[in-house]
Structure 1
Amino acid sequence: MTQIAPALVPLLVTLPLLGAAIALIAGRHRKTQVVVSVVTLSAVTVIAAILLYVVDTGDQPIAVSVGGWPIPFGIVLYVDRLAALLVVVSSIVLLAVLLFSVGQGAADGDDDTPVSIFHPSYLILGAGIFNAFIAGDLFNLYVGFEILLVASYVLITLGSTESRIRTGVVYIVVSLVSSILFLAAIAMIYGALGTVNMVQISERMGELPQETQLILHLMLLLAFSIKAAVFPLSFWLPDSYPTAPAPVTAVFAGLLTKVGVYAIIRTETELFLDNDVNQLLMWVALATMIVGVLGAVAQAELKRILSFTLVSHIGYMIFGLAIATPAAIGATIYYMVHHIVVQTTLFLAVGLVERRAGSTSILRVKGLMRAAPVIAVLYFIPAINLGGLPPFSGFIGKFALFDAAAQVGTPIMMVLMVGGILTSLLTLYALMRAWNLSFWREDEDSAETEARISYLGSAPAAGIETERRVIPKIMTAATTGMVAITVALTIFAGPLYDVCTRIGEALLQPVSLTQLEDDAAGTEKAP
């Protein structure tokens, strides 16, 4: 298996692109598109799992120079534990959301997700995400971002409604600003160091004056923070995601911001390990947590509540990265995996609520516990998980982050811990208030309840109504499967956390160009 692993790496990107081409050709044959998409993402999941097993048990990353060009001149695809783990999780999430969308498309036709466009765009989105995770140089990382940007713009505007076009324009403008900053930073780095290979950049970065390093550092951090929706650069997200179709919103919330977080983790631990902006990151993390969760508390629409909690929980990941210890980095990776799965699951559950109740406003939806008990459970489990109740993975991830911060023990760490605990409590409050109003509230007690929550009447989308629609079994099954995965993150927290700990230790040990060449050649690492 070790011998064939390098040949599998390019398939992570080429298979989705090939699948997208076939799906586009088969545009008038819905079943063919579905089969192609499901088979493609299933194959990627299997390949990624094999690569994760190989790199974890062999304790040696896999580097592949595309086209046979010598490193660092060619395009290098680099798969270590972090890249392999995120590709596994991403492919599973993409597959589950795809099944959800298949059920929606079968029930609604082409109203919300025109399948002739949806499937090719969805697979191209997956190719961009996978390419970003395994990119070994900055320009290939940029290419991955642009691939998923093009696909995401198509997906976010599906249906061509006025609100989707408007938010799509905002999304594309913000993303283009981020891309321009990223591309400008790449050009400056290449001009200063003569390379875009991340390993070679890390070796040469020390040759530059500190002021130049800081400028390059902040440019990349700014570009990636926009994509990750880090405060105050998160203004675009709460208005952009809720307008898209339910499966699109779910995959965007679960994955796209995490690609930005991944890029921050890579650059902070590889390129700028000796150029410290951790104090800045700590205050940014605190602001992201608090402002995001306060926004969630003020919302009356389920998708907007989840969008603001998405922003706030990005702060936990920046918090762990800013601590900059192996334990903290490992906890950050675990929390990142947890958040990808749980956030996606919650958006899928809200998609079921929308179809059953004809609204996602907590002022209008009521009585779903009696009318749809299965949906109540599918929302409740990931909600308390995201809120951090023990023994779920949200609690495990937060506890690990707080423990790493306590080991450092500085005053700012104590402030961040208090902020993290407050954010967790307010997250639980916002999600449980939504659950109480939407599921427990009955018609006969609505007058008293309406008086208590009248302050939410002026919140955005508080009065939104949609058409009630039948819920196909495959949509419920896909959401149930995702809920099962959120529970599995708790049941198998030990082995998963061990992998994340090894990732944290490895990320803080810089890889040399010689080691990269040895990995590409399939030889043992140089001492």
Structure 2
Amino acid sequence: MTPDPTWIPVLITMPTLVPMVAAALTLLRGRSPVLQRVVTVAAISVAFVASCLMLYLTNTHGTFAVAIGGWGGKGFPNGPLGITLVVDQLSALMLVVSTIVLLCVVVYAIGQGLRDGGTTQQPVSIFLPTYLILCAGVCNAFLAGDLFNLYVSFEVLLSASFVLLTLGASGERVRAGASYVMVSMVSSLIFLAGIAFAYATTGTLNLAQMAVRLDAVPDGTRNALYAVLLVAFGIKAAVFPLSTWLPDSYPTAPAPVTAVFAGLLTKVGVYAIIRAHTLLFPGGSMDNMLLIAGLLTMLVGIFGAIAQSDVKRLLSFTLVSHIGYMVFGVALSSKLGLSAAIYYVAHHILVQTTLFLVVGLIERQAGSASLRRLGGLLASPLLAALFLIPALNLGGIPPFSGFIGKVALMEAGAEDGSVLAWLLIAGSVITSLLTLYVMARVWTKGFWRARADAPEGELADRAPSALIDESATDASFDDRADVGRMPIAMVVPTAIMVAAGLVLTLWAGPILGFTDRAATDIADRNVYVQSVLGGGDHG
């Protein structure tokens, strides 16, 4: 059954437009926190449903494109002008996974009762509107069909992230925010220079038109443009050596903010690398450089994690490390490698977000996230299970999705057969084993060890036995009286995230089949080009 073309444009714009409208409404109704929460959850739920519909449509009918305002088609012989939104299987999958994360994290944040400033009586009126703007920026980045719209999407989500990162305005958060702002500005300036370079080279910023016109550009110019864009996207994706900013910035934010940053913001950068690599610059001119960067990202990140005693910083380094797996799959420039990379991106978004949410529960339960102060958390079996499952998943223990994704990447590397590919396979195995060691270290010190045996155990607040308090949805984390209480609105979304990660394991076959089809589509860029231009470059 062919979908009705009249509502396809509406469907494609909903994940961006609905959160933006909801952000305006929640900002105007800042004195009505209940209304803010209802509108926020409803808006992200609508975006999730729209994303699921697009996932179904792209799987059954292929790629869809819409030129906003009708600036395209037969009346415009030079091709689509202005903003073009494109949804294919890759972008639809990223939208579904992202909106699941955004919805669970916002429910978790509402449960935690984020507060603005240092007083527990002052409600956060800016958090939810800013969060909705972040949601719109992330969704629009996955739909962007032109380079400048992608840049705008990055700036929207980064502007929102500046506010969320410094929420509460503590000295530590302001310092981390200043560093984050400086790195982001440098990345944005490089990206803007790349946009100017691309327009000067091709006369367009539409990705489909650029893909066609870049074929006629000399190799040296194409490689220079690709290098500029890779640096910009590499900073956003935290690819080594452009990743040193991340472990210093993310751990200072509140748990739900850190979770959504870790799960989504770096993956938007990875998505941009995938698009540039497959659509604009196919042919593998920089594959060897990307393979080396992927290997170094894996190893440097995981060695950094081993040296950490704070669980948030430890997870931030593992986040950097596992970006290397995704770069590995992309750099192989094969359908098998792309499929494995797409699967691993979806896996890592869910698992890394879940672990940061669990750290928020650990802080609630024990009053600290430092391994020098933690112990005895096994007294809460629910908390132990919520940590253990995603930790084993991240470490790549069979039969979890982390193991499946790593095996798929290694299979793609073995199929490639080059020396660098085999080095990446070895690096992948080492990184996976060290990740498991790091997770086991957190488990033994935080859960198995008695609190009294922790070197600084007496400095953390003593917590009562584990408790799920259904009435604690408005509790402030800054209120030490809440230590030991895990509000039901924090536990439930965390459990849903754990279950979402298990879905990738239980339905690994169908999902890998989907990622295979998505990889086939993006590897054949004519599918994308024809969906946007209608059969070739106009003009």
Q: Same fold (TM over 0.5)?
A: yes
Q: Partner of 1:63 in structure 2?
A: 65
SS at match of 2:148: helix
SS at match of 1:276: coil
Q: Does 1:214 align with 2:223?
A: yes
Q: How far is the alpha carbon of 1:445 from its aligned partner?
A: 5.0
Separation in 2, partners of 1:99, 1:109: 21
Q: Partner of 1:304 in structure 2?
A: 313
Q: Which amino acid aligns with 1:340?
A: I
Separation in 2, partners of 1:67, 1:182: 26
Q: Does 1:25 align with 2:40?
A: no
Q: Does 1:2 align with 2:3?
A: yes
Q: Partner of 1:51 in structure 2?
A: 54
In the alignment, which of 260, 279, 296 is matched to residue 287 of structure 1? 296
TM-score relative to the length of structure 1: 0.92
Q: Taking structure 1 as reference, are residues 164 and 466 closer, same or farther at Cα in structure 2, changes over 3 Å only?
A: farther
In the alignment, which of 326, 330, 333 is matched to residue 335 of structure 2? 326
Q: Taking structure 1 as reference, are residues 232 and 111 closer, same or farther at Cα in structure 2, changes over 3 Å only?
A: farther
SS at match of 2:125: helix
Q: Taking structure 1 as reference, are residues 25 and 519 closer, same or farther at Cα in structure 2, changes over 3 Å only?
A: farther
Q: Partner of 2:259 in structure 1?
A: 250
**CA offsets, 1:180-218, max 9 Å, x none?**
000111011101110001111111112222111111000
Separation in 2, partners of 1:443, 1:193: 63
Correspondences of 1:301-450 after superposition (within 5 Å): 301-370=310-379, 372-443=380-451, 445-446=453-454
Correspondences of 1:127-138 after superposition (within 5 Å): 127-138=136-147
Q: Taking structure 1 as reference, are residues 444 and 164 closer, same or farther at Cα in structure 2, changes over 3 Å only?
A: closer
Q: How far is the alpha carbon of 1:431 from its aligned partner?
A: 1.1
Q: How far is the alpha carbon of 1:443 from its aligned partner?
A: 4.3
Q: How far is the alpha carbon of 1:74 from its aligned partner?
A: 2.7
Separation in 1, partners of 2:344, 2:156: 26
Q: How far is the alpha carbon of 1:444 from its aligned partner?
A: 5.8
Q: Does 1:516 align with 2:532?
A: yes
Q: Partner of 2:467 in structure 1?
A: none
**CA offsets, 1:413-432, max 9 Å, x none?**
11110100000000010111
> What root-mean-square deviation, in Å, do the aligned CA atoms of Structure 1 and Structure 2 show?
2.1
Q: Partner of 1:233 in structure 2?
A: 242
SS at match of 1:115: coil
8 Å contact from structure 2 (residues 373, 454) kept in 1 = no
Q: Does 1:42 align with 2:58?
A: no
Q: Taking structure 1 as reference, are residues 33 and 499 closer, same or farther at Cα in structure 2, changes over 3 Å only?
A: same
Q: How far is the alpha carbon of 1:12 from its aligned partner?
A: 1.5
Q: Greater CA deviation, 107-116 or 405-414?
A: 107-116
Q: How far is the alpha carbon of 1:514 from its aligned partner?
A: 4.3
Q: Partner of 2:461 in structure 1?
A: none
Q: Taking structure 1 as reference, are residues 208 and 103 closer, same or farther at Cα in structure 2, changes over 3 Å only?
A: same
In the alignment, which of 243, 256, 268 is matched to residue 259 of structure 1? 268
Aligned length: 504
Separation in 2, partners of 1:384, 1:492: 18
**CA offsets, 1:64-93, max 9 Å, x none?**
000000132231100000111100110010
Q: Which runs of 4+ in 1 moved over 6 A?
A: 106-110
Q: How far is the alpha carbon of 1:109 from its aligned partner?
A: 10
Separation in 1, partners of 2:33, 2:452: 45
Q: How far is the alpha carbon of 1:375 from its aligned partner?
A: 0.8
8 Å contact from structure 1 (residues 107, 472) kept in 2 = no
Q: How far is the alpha carbon of 1:518 from its aligned partner?
A: 3.4
Q: Taking structure 1 as reference, are residues 169 and 15 closer, same or farther at Cα in structure 2, changes over 3 Å only?
A: same
Q: Which amino acid aligns with 1:67?
A: G
Q: Partner of 1:16 in structure 2?
A: 19
Q: Partner of 1:500 in structure 2?
A: 515
SS at match of 2:84: strand
Q: Which amino acid aligns with 1:13?
A: T
Q: Taking structure 1 as reference, are residues 106 and 239 closer, same or farther at Cα in structure 2, changes over 3 Å only?
A: closer
Q: Does 1:172 align with 2:181?
A: yes
Q: Taking structure 1 as reference, are residues 428 and 513 closer, same or farther at Cα in structure 2, changes over 3 Å only?
A: closer
8 Å contact from structure 1 (residues 78, 135) kept in 2 = yes
8 Å contact from structure 2 (residues 116, 168) kept in 1 = no
Separation in 1, partners of 2:197, 2:299: 34
**CA offsets, 1:320-372, max 9 Å, x none?**
001110011000000000000000000000000011101101111100102x2
Q: Taking structure 1 as reference, are residues 475 and 274 closer, same or farther at Cα in structure 2, changes over 3 Å only?
A: same
Separation in 1, partners of 2:448, 2:65: 53
**CA offsets, 1:207-255, max 9 Å, x none?**
2221111110000000000000000110100010000011000000000
TM-score relative to the length of structure 2: 0.90
Q: How far is the alpha carbon of 1:111 from its aligned partner?
A: 5.4
SS at match of 1:64: strand
In the alignment, which of 185, 202, 205 is matched to residue 194 of structure 2? 185
8 Å contact from structure 1 (residues 332, 401) kept in 2 = yes
SS at match of 2:113: helix
Q: Taking structure 1 as reference, are residues 72 and 8 closer, same or farther at Cα in structure 2, changes over 3 Å only?
A: same
Q: Partner of 2:475 in structure 1?
A: none
8 Å contact from structure 1 (residues 61, 519) kept in 2 = no
Separation in 2, partners of 1:506, 1:81: 8
Q: Partner of 1:525 in structure 2?
A: none
8 Å contact from structure 2 (residues 355, 391) kept in 1 = yes
Q: Taking structure 1 as reference, are residues 121 and 273 closer, same or farther at Cα in structure 2, changes over 3 Å only?
A: same
Q: How far is the alpha carbon of 1:501 from its aligned partner?
A: 0.6
